[in-house]
Structure 1
Amino acid sequence: MTLTHRLLSPLIVALAFSAPVVTHAATDPSFVLTATSKNFDNYFPSYLANGYFSTMTSVRGSEANLAYMVAFMDYAKDDIARPAAIPGWSGIDYSTGKSTAGEFWLNRTLLSDKAFSDYQQTLDMHNGTLTTRYRYTDDSQKSTRIEITTFVSQADTHLAATRITITPEFDGSVQLSFPLNIWAPHQPRFPIGKMTGDEMLAAVAANNMSVTEPVNYRTADRAPVWYHGDTNVSNDDGSTKDLTLQLDGKAEQGLHMAEAAAIELPKGIKPSDITLDKSTYQLALNMKVPVHKGHAYSFTKYVAMSRESWGGDASATAALAKKARSTGFDKLLAAHQTAWHTLWQSDIVIDGDAKVQQAVHSDLYYLLSNSTSGTAWPMGACALTPNYAGHAFWDSDSWVFPALLLLHPDRAKPIVMFRHRTMQPARERAIQYGAKGTMYPWEADPETGIDYTPHFAYGVFREIHVNADVAIAQWQYYLASGDSAWLKANGWPVIKEVADFWVSRVSYDKANDRYEILHVTSPDEAYDDVPNDSFTNAAARKALDIATAAATKVGASPDPQWADISKKMYIPFDAKARRHLDFDASVPHDKITWMGSSLAWLMYPNLDLPMSPEIRKNDFDFQLEELKVHGNDPNEMMMVMLATAAAEVGDGKTAGEWLQRNLVGFLKPPYNVRSETASNNAGYILATSAGFVQSLVYGLSGLRIDDNGLTEAYAPALPPTWKSLTLKHITFRGKRYDITVDRDAAGNAKLTRKAL
């Protein structure tokens, strides 16, 4: 992501929520996050998802919430591709009925301790459920005990369900509404596809003129930039007899989708006044039901989703919803929970730090909630939300992919498959920029792979290290899987054409007999159009070496230029200081940036540039100093890199301190949604969750995936207060292991492997 992107990221105000509460004895508290009524004024929502579709969470648990579907994009004129919001499916509304005081609906009642007493909302990450409980008292003083449970099925990826259980403290009749909410197109829509950075910043400033405080681009509301796209709904209908709803939709100039719901009533309940509400922004079934004081009544809304290439039209999708209803809530929930429990068999277990344990469980929850299996879809930078427009950055290849590769290789594979599937637009982009092979975009549309980097993101066409990142991930998948057939059919074509790109992109410096890469943007993105960025040059060299090795594996002839360029690739180095430079010494290293320096990137697992322990320590020390001198509100990608780098130099204490820094300000309560920095609140960024996972899987363990296998490249490290770290049920070349880092009799960290 670019600096300009980050300045324009969305603001979601952070809250202070209560400490986690265990919902039942069987649930490990590290899997449970809970909110209370103390936080009604501000709420940083989480989401429920299964990689294919999602819904945001909300305070009451009953509201209609924005929802998204994998790679379902809006392509409005002059805009960038952005996720089209699908009709909100999770909402159920409730009214105690008309009285002399009026008619009161749950979702329109203002939040207060009086109206919502005994409030508790719990995200159970082990079971993948959100449960909300409270005593609802409306303005007519009628009270009802309410419990709402929602899940998006991991067992059947087309399905979700919401169940509301009401226990009225009165006799009479109540009303319920089961809507599919159709969102109005976001207004205004900016021509982001052609707006300059200054024009975009001006738009953000204009949006904030209504507030009294001065505009601060790091904390202002960026909603004008990362808004959702539009789904146009047609063929919306329902049945008051069958208690079903269904609709067809189409993203703006995009794909078709379908959505349906089937309602289940409590046994013995005979509703009256059942109506079908078809309005511009809602398709709903409404009804009245008789109730008795102290009796509990459960109403369930079964929902099914489909989109082009994944499911059928409204009728076919309605059949899925009705089948779910016939199966029943308890069986669907049990299958969903079993699927989650299977996923959690691969886990990261920490003995000695409950806070880090809970953080890594929430990070894994978000990664698993947004990953698919057996597809060729990537994961958007900010999951199934509109942030960063749902595009696929290098975040997918270098951050998310390695985090999943050992724990859930089937969930990592779609990321590398996406790059193979979208080779053609990458070839066309290379031609556009006068290069050969494939030139993957900085921001790829997750459906088509086409470049949709905003025009205002100055210079990102020069942040070309993404092409090396793609090839490195392909090779890592082969090394971890040992799948030669996959390499030949899928990985090798990508690796080869990435190498061809680098051959066409390097320049030969005859005077120094070396190859250089000029006019690039550094990962420390304020340094735009610099020569010989060290990370870019090192990554390109690794991609070329990978191409030579892959050619041998598949029986192809490697281009001799690959080895020649690799051997002579220039990596800027300060011989006097005995450390690497960020880029060529001709460029002053004097800007205030989010990172201070990008030397830590050279040590990150996906690249892990070979160097002596002395140079590694010098690079690390320089990075820390520059973060103090030239750093400004560092992003969390830097925090996790520093934890990993500290482990590489054998400093478990410092690694632990940087892990703790990852818990301060970045985790937005109540549901540990990670933000990009502690202050800008750009949330849902999967790279930061994945980076935290990597700092444990590869950082403290010292493990690397290389040609020799799963290698103990560095001595393991543990923070002083930790007893052990266990990577449970990891998979490598078809075999499963538990890998534990604990202490020997002398107190030194040691690593052991146990075959399963």
Structure 2
Amino acid sequence: MKPGRLLVLLFRVVFLLASGAAPVLAADPSFQFTATAKDFGSYFPSYLANGYFSTMTSPRGTEPDAAYMVAFMDYKPGDISRPAAIPGWSEIDYNPGGGWLNRTRLDAGIFQGYAQTLDMRDATLTTRYRFAYANKASDIQVASFVSQASPHLAATRISITPQFDGKVQLSFPLRLWSEHAPRFPIASMEGEEMIAAVIASGQNLDNKPVPTPDRAPVWYPGYTQVLSTAGDTKALTLQLKGRAQQGLGMAEAAALALPEGLEPDEVKLERTPTKLSLEITATLKKGRRYDFTKYLALTRDGWGNDEDVLALATAARKRGFARLLAEHQAAWHGLWRSDIVVDGDPAVQKAVHSDLYYLLSNSTVGTAWPMGACALTPNYAGHAFWDSDSWVFPALLLLHPERAKPIVAFRARTTEPARARARQYGVAGTMYPWEADPQTGVDVTPHFAWEVYREVHVNADIAIAQWQYYLATGDTQWLKTQAWPVLQGIATFWTSRVTYDQAHDRYEVHHVTSPDEAYNDVPNDSFTNAAARKALEIAVKAAHLVGAQADPRWSEIASKMYIPFDEAEQRHLDFDKSVPHDKITWMGSSLAWLMYPNLDLAMTPQVRRNDFDFQLQALKSHGDDPNEMMMVMLAVGAAELGDARAAGDWINRNLVGFLKPPFNVRTETAANNAGYILATSAGFLQSMLYGLTGLRIDDQGLSEKYAPVLPPGWNGLTLKGVHFRGQRYDIKVERGADGKVRLVRKVSP
């Protein structure tokens, strides 16, 4: 490069840094997801979020979009708890004289040159088009983000360049949602009642074409009642206070910044049952760019220190959009120092980055909140399942242990509700629910799914996650004060839940729901029994480390736990041989669970091969529209067998059908549109973190349990910025000069 050119570039970088703006760097296509006009009819929304609150995306970049806050729940009597939709904050509307932007049909001839990019490295949404309607045209650019650097803040900016002189109208509302109707008494409805009620409401639960939600009749949002509103046309501010129905209080404020030098013709405050808004009329000049910025501040009971949201919003306005954006981007770039880098398959790399984005944008630091099954959306009612402990937690643990910790902290915080539930069901210790409320930890499983009270493997899953956190951090003080009560309570639960079979001198677990949930009352589910055994073994080890007395029954039960096995076929059974394995399910079999990294049941290579082959055969013969949670595990199973080609095939299979365009939103199955399921994103990442590397977190450390593999055509796989016991590593799977695949660890600064 010529010296003069280098000086010019350096000057630009210095200028941008001095002005508070982020320097413009070449975009990495593996982080870029762009919608075009071709996506108008099948646009599956994504979201912007920072773990504490969110907003959904929409094609124009300006629509009234739903928004949610972490563990902010509606507790309407008769219903299950569900995330209360907070007043929508990202909406802006524009009328150049012929019609309002948000009410004009999506058409490529009206929204000309349309492109919307979700940059997952920067966590920003940018939308560009020429709005050409009623003989007037305006160039529009909208940029929005939810701050990773300042968790209570967000901002959205609309930049307008009119191709005419004249008056325009702009609207900057906080959207006040109505309560969802109909609301069903899901807390008491049977399954057939639920289906009948949905049909009676004019809806159904059938799979629907993208992007129509097909589970919305059940997983609808809760309600935030707005208690007070205020606005100031001179200060250009809005503020409100509200309360989730029967739940916590919240507050929200917005501060508007007008284009430099623009004196509006009129500013009005509009207060209606559906919105609180600043309405502006202004005269614009042809060819000039006008930037209107809306700064947003949010808080809720139990989050923050009684922040004055109006002061936060006005302070954000004073700091300015460029500075806030630069701080936000810098925070995200810091997160991406820990990354998974695929060399040789751009499509897989793109999926890895989108899955990491969805996990990181829903994680918090220094809290005791879990992650809802479907992120900061109302799907699966925002409840905490085993998804948090067995799926999301291991995916975050090596790269971002500080963001994995709130998941295990939540279980420590909610031991009392778990003890109460154990008493309710006549067992000892702690019995964590299948669906836990993310704020209170109480059981909020819908009544129509009541049979999953038998899906007690969640209690073992929780114990395994607690132990993994200790193994990864070596934090003995945390183990003693936080994890030990959880581990002790769960081990005590299993001692009272097992049945001793004197004839065979073994312990069994009866009346359980398998992970393949169509089998909802079976004896001796193999995954449940194996996980329970591991939980008991963990409790014995933890007792020794914290100086507590282990119940001698824990070791006895663990050593004699029955795990069904077919000697003739040399493979595990899904459950007791007395139960016919003959149902059509969305998993076919649950044997793949036995190979999953957090359980990693010991078995011979031949048994592992037989289990894997049976899983595939059962999937073909008994599977229907398979659940992605099972599908993403098959790459791990193939990698454990040393089959690099099969592992690569399964990784690529999980790119087909499950990723909804344009933003790679993973859905529960390829056919249904129950989206934002974090467990599936986490499972895909575990295929890289633990599958291809062969790494396991065990008592010896971060062990090379299985030989690493690389799919054909891949040049390498790198885990950047792995954190383990106070060290930071880069771990690479690569081919040596001899063509053999090897794993290399390098301590990084």
The question of 1:439 aligning with 2:428 is answered no
Structure 1 residues 426-435 or 221-230, which shifts more?
221-230
Give the alignment of 1:375-390 within 5 angstroms. 375-390=367-382
- The 2-side partners of 1:39 and 1:629 are apart by 35
1:676-705 Cα offsets, whole Å, 9 max, x none, are 100012100000000000010000000000
- What is the match of residue 238 of structure 2? 245
Is the contact made by 1:161 and 1:303 (CA closer than 8 Å) also made in structure 2? Answer: yes
Select which of 722, 732, 748 maps to 2:740.
748
* Cα gap change, 1:217 to 1:264, in 2 (>3 Å): closer
Report if the CA contact (8 A) 1:132-1:148 is conserved: yes
CA distance in 2, matches of 1:96, 1:597: 59
Q: Give the whole-Å Cα distance in 2 for the aligned partners of 1:749 and 1:682.
A: 38
Q: Distance in 1 between matches of 2:722 and 2:38?
A: 40
Measured against aligned partners, the alpha-carbon deviations of 1:287-338 in whole angstroms (never above 9, x if no partner) come to 112211000010100000000011366x811100000000000000000000
Per-residue deviation, 1:173? 1.8
Contact 1:197 1:458 in 2 (8 A): no
Equivalents in 2 of 1:711, 1:423: separation in Å?
A: 31
Rounded to whole Å, the distance in 1 between the matches of 2:178 and 2:198 is: 21
Secondary structure of residue in 1 paired with 2:532: helix
Opposite residue 435 of structure 2, the aligned amino acid is E
Q: Does 1:111 align with 2:106?
A: yes
Q: Which amino acid aligns with 2:146?
A: V
Contact 1:136 1:145 in 2 (8 A): yes
Does residue 636 (structure 1) correspond to residue 636 (structure 2)? The answer is no
The structural deviation recorded for 1:748 is 2.1
Alignment of 1:69 with 2:61, yes or no, is no
Does the 8 Å CA contact 2:215/2:673 hold for their aligned counterparts? no
Is this contact kept in 1: 2:50–2:363, CA < 8 A?
Answer: yes
2:182–2:201: 8 Å Cα contact kept in structure 1? no
Pick from 289, 312, 319: which aligns with 1:320?
312
Equivalence for 1:280:
273
Which residue of the other structure, out of 598, 618, 626, is the alignment partner of 1:626?
Answer: 618
Q: Structure 2 residue aligned with 1:223, among 207, 216, 220? A: 216
Question: Is the counterpart of residue 182 in structure 1 residue 187 in structure 2?
Answer: no
Q: Who is 1:5 aligned against?
A: none
- Code of the aligned partner of 1:132: T
Paired position in structure 1 for 2:508: 516
Aligned length: 723
Structure-1 residue corresponding to 2:118: 123
Aligned to 1:496: 488
* Residues 479-490 of structure 1 aligned to structure 2 (within 5 Å): 479-490=471-482
Larger mean CA deviation between 287-296 and 355-364 belongs to: 287-296
Q: Deviations over 1:246-288 (max 9, x none)?
A: 0001000000000000000111111122110010010000111
Deviations 1:449-484 (A, max 9, x none): 010000001410000000000000000000001001
Cα distance in 1 for partners of 2:227, 2:583 equals 53
Q: What is the identity, as a one-letter code, of the residue corresponding to 1:128?
A: A
In 1, the alpha carbon distance for the partners of 2:49 and 2:95 equals: 28
**Residues 1:457 and 2:452 aligned together:** no
Mapped partners of 1:753, 1:435: distance in 2: 46
> In the alignment, is the contact (CA less than 8 A) between 1:50 and 1:152 conserved in 2?
yes
The one-letter code matched in structure 2 to 1:108 is: R
Q: CA 1:296–1:217 in structure 2 vs 1: closer, same or farther (change >3 Å)? A: closer
Task: Give yes or no for contact 1:259–1:303 (8 Å, CA) kept in 2.
Answer: yes
Q: Distance in 1 between the 2:678 and 2:225 partners?
A: 29
Shift of 1:114: 1.8
TM superposition shift of 1:624:
0.8
1:115 shift after superposition: 1.3
The 5 A counterparts of 1:233-312 are 233-311=226-304
**CA displacement, residues 387-411 of structure 1 (integer Å, 9 cap, x when unaligned):** 0000000000000000000000000
Corresponding residue of 1:703: 695
Q: Is the 8 A contact 1:27 1:126 kept in 2?
A: no
In the TM superposition, residue 25 of structure 1 has moved relative to its aligned partner by 5.4
Name the structure 2 match of 1:136: 131
Question: Structure 1 residues 51 and 693 mapped into 2: Cα distance closer, same or farther (>3 Å)?
Answer: same
Distance (whole Å) between structure 1 residues aligned to residue 179 and residue 305 of structure 2: 25
- Whole-angstrom distance in 1 between the partners of 2:208 and 2:546: 49
CA displacement at 1:138 relative to structure 2: 2.2
Q: Which digits, 9 at most, give the CA deviation of each residue in 1:112-134, with x for residues without a partner?
A: 11211010000000011000000
After TM superposition, list the pairs within 5 Å mapping 1:149-168 onto structure 2: 149-168=143-162
* 1:634 partner SS: coil
Q: Is the 8 A contact 1:311 1:317 kept in 2?
A: no
Consecutive unaligned residues of structure 2, counting only runs of 5 or more, are 1-22
Contact kept, 8 Å, 1:398 with 1:606, in 2: the verdict is yes
**For residues 654 and 455 of structure 1, do their structure 2 counterparts lie closer, same or farther at Cα, with a shift above 3 Å needed?**
same
Look up the match of 1:35. 35
Counterpart in the other structure of 2:84: 84
Deviation at 1:175, TM superposition (A): 1.2
Distance 2:87 2:680 in 1: 29
- Judge conservation of contact 1:204–1:221 (CA < 8 Å) in 2: no
The answer as to whether partners of 1:306 and 1:312 remain within 8 angstroms in 2 is: no
**1:682 corresponds to:** 674
Q: Is the 8 A contact 1:158 1:304 kept in 2?
A: yes
Q: CA deviation at 1:222?
A: 2.4
Identity of aligned residues (%): 67
Instruction: Describe the SS at the equivalent of 1:283.
Output: strand
Distance in 1 between residues matched to 2:427 and 2:683, nearest whole Å: 32
Secondary structure of residue in 2 paired with 1:288: strand
Q: Which amino acid aligns with 2:226?
A: V
Query: What amino acid is aligned across from residue 731 of structure 2 in structure 1?
Result: I
RMSD: 1.3
Partners in 2 of 1:682 and 1:90 — Cα distance? Answer: 24
Q: What is the letter of the counterpart of residue 183 of structure 1?
A: W
Deviations 1:335-373 (A, max 9, x none): 000000000000000001000000000000000000000
Residue deviations 1:133-157 (CA, integer Å, cap 9, x gap):
0000122x11000000000000000
Gaps of 5+ in 1: 1-22, 98-102
1:311 and 1:529 map into 2 onto residues whose CA distance is: 44
* Separation in structure 2 between the aligned mates of residue 686 and residue 221 of structure 1, nearest angstrom: 18
Alignment of 1:343 onto 2:355: no
Q: Distance in 1 between matches of 2:712 and 2:334?
A: 32
| Contact 1:742-1:750 within 8 A present in 2 as well | yes
Looking at structure 2, the residues matched to 165 and 397 of structure 1 have their Cα atoms a distance apart, in angstroms, of: 43
Closer, same or farther: CA 235–218 of 1 in aligned 2, 3 Å: closer
Q: 1:207 deviation in Å?
A: 4.3
Per the TM alignment, residue 205 of structure 1 is displaced from its structure 2 partner at its CA by 3.3
Q: Report if the CA contact (8 A) 2:257-2:292 is conserved.
A: yes
Q: Distance in 2 between matches of 1:310 and 1:446?
A: 14
Q: CA deviation digits over 1:535-559, x for unaligned, max 9?
A: 0000000000000000011011111
- Structure 1 distance, partners of 2:107, 2:523, is 58
